[in-house]
Structures are given as structure tokens and as C-alpha cells.
Amino acid sequence: MYIVDSYPLAVLLCVVTMFCWGSWANTQKLASKEWSFPLFYWDYTLGVILLSLVFGLTLGSSGSAGQAFIPNLLQAAPKAISFALLGGIIFNIANLLLVAAIEIAGMAIAFPIGIGLALVLGVFNNYLPNPEDYNALYLFLGVGLVTLAIILNAMAYKKVSQGSKSTKGIIISLVAGLLMSFFYRFVADSMSKDLAHIEAGTFTPYAAVFVFSIGIFISNFLFNFYFMKNPVSGKPVSYKMYFRQGTSKLHIVGILGGVIWSLGMILSIMAGDIAGYAISYGLGQGATLVAAIWGVFVWKEFRNAPKGTSVLLALMFASFIIGLVLIILANGA
């Protein structure tokens, strides 16, 4: 299998992850004009599985290092399988809540608050198992600046929203972020500590992400079914509507969303062995910055904002950028 062998390359993959995770929700925005998000989300999960399988059968099965994709799946121990599946289940409920928050509050709000919180807590979760691998000062200064950016974004949101919708959007985003902070550690713990020589019963990055994606799909029958019957907006939908009303274009857009997110996840996990999982996860969740840029400059979610909002947004972007740079420098500094 292919293994990332340098820190600069690992950082580059994490930056690509950041753009993937910060951009996939644009497909939801495009589909939402004609398609309820629970129906969109079924195609999204299919996209996640498809790309993880493609990577497993290509990069995950090439070269002499580690172990090929299929043999690795067949030798996995119940513990590794359970961890990867649990990571997928936790991610799925968190991501569904995030999608609901996007529908209520927009990308410029849901991502910086929800995923920003996931970044802060997730860095801690992935730092604690191996604190000696990081410069704690740089890491936590970076996390602190990201936290400040989250607060600034919430203040900007309050200027353009009011009443129960504002409160509901923030609360759902916070719950999504809290849950999102835990999934990555479970996936990392299902993998071998030495990727060049896979420990018996553990996963390679490629197999771990594939089983993780299966956890997403299986749990969708519970979590997404709930949102189908209890949507945050609009009328309830059914499986029959998915097959009868979904056009080829809508299905492709949903699958594309899953492919984009899955690409980011695979690259992040591949980079984690060299960069450290706290940094790999933290940089990937810099997606908050990318999503905020989409929301502010493309979707114009702050176009009617009162005076003073632009200053808060500028400070938010600056805090995010400086915070992410410090997180990059935290590896072996």
C-alpha cells in the first residue's frame, strides 16, 4: 500500500482535506433548491463508500509496504472493526446535525461554530494519547485562536439573525461539533501503529476508512430515517420519493458531495501517521475557514448584515489563519 513518508507532504494532504471538508456542503446547497436534505444525504453516504473502496483497491493495494486492502480487511480483529464502525456511527449523527444546522443557519454559521468546536475538542482528544509528539504551546495557542474565531463568528451571526431561528441554529451547530470531535480518534485507534509492518488484527488507513464508511451507511437507516420523518424544514419525505423524484442530476450532486468529503477523510488519515493525528485532524477541520469563505463571498449569507459585521468577520478569518499556522508548527517544534 502507499504510505506518506514526509511531513511537508502530510501537511499538503491536510490542506487538501481542509478544502474538501469545507467545500462538500456546497453540493447540499445546490441540491436543496429541489431536494430535501435527508434524500440528498443518502446519495452523500454512497459517495463516501464508493471513493473509500476505490482508494482501497488502488493505492491501498499497491506497493510492498504494509498490507494490501482485501487481506487486511479479512484479518481484522473485532476490536478494530468495532472502533472503525463506531467512528462512522458517531460521525454520521454529528454530520446529520451539521447538515440540519446548515439548512437552518447557512454555511457561514454552522461550519465555523460546529466544526470549529469539533476542531478544538478533537485536537485535545487526539493529543492526549501521545502528548510528547507535539509542541503544546504552539498547539494550544493555535486552538485558542480558533476558539476566538468561533466566538467572533457567533457574534456576527447574532447581528444578522434574531429570535428562535438564531438560537436553534447555534444550538444544533454546537451539539454537532461536540459529537464530531470524537469520531476521528476511534478510526485512528483501529489502525496499526506501524504502517510499514501492520500489526495483526489492525487496519491500514484504507481499510479503516472503508469500514468507517460502512458504519455511516448502516447507521443512516436509523439517524437519517428520523430526519426523513422529522425534517428541520419542509415536509416529511419517504424512500419512495428518493426513487421516484430524484433526477440523475440530483443523485450525481449528492454522490459528488460524499466523494469530496471522503477524499478529505482518506488523505487526512493517510497523513496522520507522519503529521500526528491531532495536527492532521486539526488542519482538516480548518474546513471551517473554507466554509466561511464560501458562505460569505459566494452564497452572500451576510449581504444584509448591519454595520460592524465586516470587522467581526475580518477578525474571525485572521484568527483562523494564524491559529492554523500555529497548529502546523506544533509538530516537533
> What tens-digit pLDDT sequence spans the chain (333 residues)?
999 999 999 999 999 999 999 899 899 888 888 888 899 999 999 999 999 999 999 999 998 889 999 999 999 999 999 999 999 999 999 999 987 887 777 766 777 788 878 888 999 889 988 898 899 999 999 989 988 988 887 788 777 765 555 678 888 889 999 999 999 999 999 999 999 999 999 999 999 999 999 999 999 999 999 999 998 778 899 999 999 999 999 999 999 999 999 999 999 999 999 999 999 998 888 887 787 788 888 888 788 788 888 899 999 999 989 998 998 899 864
C-alpha cell at 25: 456542503
Length of the chain: 333
Question: Has residue 222 been placed in a domain?
Answer: yes
How far, rounded to the nearest angstrom, does the alpha carbon of residue 284 sit from its chain's CA centroid?
Answer: 7
Cα first-last separation, the chain: 29
Domain that holds residue 186: 7-329
Question: Has residue 154 been placed in a domain?
Answer: yes
Using DSSP's 3-state secondary structure scheme, residue 31 falls into helix
Q: No. of H helices and E strands in the chain?
A: 15, 0
Residue 243: the pLDDT is 93
Residue 163: the pLDDT is 53
Cβ partners under 8 Å of residue 127, min gap 6 = 134, 136, 139, 278
C-alpha cell at 238: 419517504
Residue 165: the pLDDT is 56
For residues 126 and 188, the answer to whether their CB atoms sit within 8 Å is: yes
Question: Has residue 117 been placed in a domain?
Answer: yes
Question: Has residue 166 been placed in a domain?
Answer: yes
* Distances, alpha carbon 64 to alpha carbons 2, 9, 10, 194, 253, in Å: 8, 20, 20, 14, 36
How far, rounded to the nearest angstrom, does the alpha carbon of residue 18 sit from its chain's CA centroid?
Answer: 9
Name the CA dihedral angle for 109, 112, 116, 118, rounded to a multiple of 10 degrees. 50
CA–CA distance, 289 with 132 (Å, rounded to integer): 28
Residue 175: the pLDDT is 92
Question: Has residue 1 been placed in a domain?
Answer: no
Question: Has residue 85 been placed in a domain?
Answer: yes
Residue 333: the pLDDT is 47
Residue 265: the pLDDT is 97
Using DSSP's 3-state secondary structure scheme, residue 138 falls into helix
Taking the CA atoms of the chain, what radius of gyration do you get in angstroms?
Answer: 19
74 burial type by CB count under 10 A (0-12 exposed, 13-18 middle, 19+ buried): exposed
Name the CA dihedral angle for 218, 170, 327, 123, rounded to a multiple of 10 degrees. -50
Name the CA dihedral angle for 16, 303, 154, 216, rounded to a multiple of 10 degrees. -40
Q: Give the count of domains, the chain.
A: 1
pTM over 0.85: yes
Q: Classify 166 in phi/psi space as left (phi over 0), alpha (psi -120 to 50) or beta.
A: alpha
Cβ partners under 8 Å of residue 193, min gap 6 = 199, 202
What's phi and psi for 65, nearest 5 deg? -80, 155
Residue 220 identity: N
Residue 181: the pLDDT is 93
C-alpha cell at 120: 478544538
CA–CA distance, 330 with 6 (Å, rounded to integer): 16
Cβ partners under 8 Å of residue 169, min gap 6 = 101, 104, 105, 109, 110, 157, 161
Question: Has residue 2 been placed in a domain?
Answer: no
**If we measure between CA atoms, which residue out of 264, 285, 278 comes closest to residue 117?**
285
Residue 262 identity: S
Question: Has residue 185 been placed in a domain?
Answer: yes
Cβ partners under 8 Å of residue 229, min gap 6 = 236
Residue 159 identity: K
